[in-house]
Amino acid sequence: MNILCVFGRHNYGDPSRGEGYEYSNFLPALRALGHDVHHFESWDRTAQADFAALNTALLDRIDALRPDLVFCVLMGYEIWSETLQTLRDAGLPVLNWGTDDSWKYSQFSRFVAPEVSLWATTSHDTVDAARADGLAMFRLSQWAASGTRTREPLASADCEHDVSFIGSAYGNRGRWVERLRQRGLPVACFGQGWPSGPVAAERIPELYRSSRISLNFGDSGLQWRGFRPYRSRQIKARVFEVPAAGGCLMTEVADRLDAYYACGSEIETFTDESDLVERARALLADPARRDAMAWAGYRRTMAEHLYERRFQPLLDECAGTSRTAVWPIDRTRFLRAVAGHRSGLALRALRGLMVRPMQWLWGERRGERAARRLLFELSWRLCGAATYRAAGLPGRLFYRAS
């Protein structure tokens, strides 16, 4: 199968944050399954002048490549609904891997999913919500590990770090790590926002493997339910990455985690700071148990939790429902969308009115992002699916800050 992957090469489209998870895991897994795999950059805002240019470039690439499948990781309104409808009308199947659906379903996924062939989600609750909403394209899957990044465990005595964490320093993670250090558990941290900075993707498996304990926090930062803030807890990709690389995982509890690993024998869990400290100390003091846990988690992952295993049924279903694509793609609908994306003087004035007060409060860059976030939160609540069309205001007014 000829597959075009549409997502970022780097985390959040920013090369300074290092190579992105999807790029370094999904592409090798699809190639390992024997497919011809190509990549289109959709997250880097420096690659195109605006979202009209981005969507036009995507259709140009598809017309030139003529793939059998488009595999997306859609983050928001970067790929317009009209673009996805154009691909659907042409008979080209689109598979989207949904990230963070545990909190993004209400504001994003339910509006965009009707435009794709299949929407894979890692959230059980999202599948239930989609079924209730009559959205039949949702399929339950889960994060996993790439078979190209697996390593057999090291013995505890041969590990370099007692405790490590690899991931961005957002939310309450900094406070967690500092409190652990104060209580005598030094944590080696790697990633955006930590003093050591981002780590190259190819180094990550060896860091997991050379740590006696690798931490995972289940939070996704501060989210909103209506106008009430809350913290989302979910199964992260790191849950599968660590055991696959031969590491010993200690993770914050999450719903349905026990469906994937035996907690206490294949991985270790914790509920709060005191629980984490107690369990980490116990595991460090018992290297034989730690080593047995690392091997048990590794074997479970190799048997059940590789992307090659996750992707195959999704690809098979897409192949079974596809029809002969029509080339070149008819862009009639798309060209109307491009015309509706243009911003006139009134919209530019509105943008200025929104951005300036925010910049006075938080500075130039953070202020612009705050204005975009405010407009987005209002847009999806008031305008729903229109937010993700070419005429949606967040995309028209805030290309660089999106």
If residue 72 lies in a helix (H) or strand (E), which one and from where to where?
Answer: strand 69-72
Q: What is the pLDDT of residue 226?
A: 54
Strands (E), 123-278: 138-140, 161-166, 187-190, 211-216, 219-225, 228-233, 249-252, 268-270
196-213 confidence digits (pLDDT tens): 888 888 899 999 999 999
Question: What domains can be seen in the chain, in order of their start residue?
Answer: 2-144+308-338 (3.40.50.2300), 150-305 (3.40.50.2000), 344-397 (no CATH)
Query: Which residues of the chain register pLDDT less than 70?
Result: 219-233, 322
Specify the 3-state DSSP secondary structure of 74: coil
Residue 316 falls in which region: left (phi positive, over 0), alpha (psi -120 to 50) or beta: alpha
Tokens found for residue 157: 């005595």
Q: What is the pLDDT of residue 42?
A: 98
Quick one: DSSP state of residue 91?
Answer: T
Residue-wise burial string across 89-128, b where 16 or more C-beta atoms lie within 10 A, e elsewhere: ebebbbbbbbbbbbbbbbbbbbbbbbbbbbbbbbbbebbe
Q: DSSP labels for 179-193?
A: HHHHTT--EEEESTT
CA-based nearest residue to 103, from 253, 226, 241, 271: 226
- Which residues are registered as beta bridge partners of 119? 96, 138
Q: What is the pLDDT of residue 221?
A: 53
Question: What pTM did the predictor assign?
Answer: 0.91
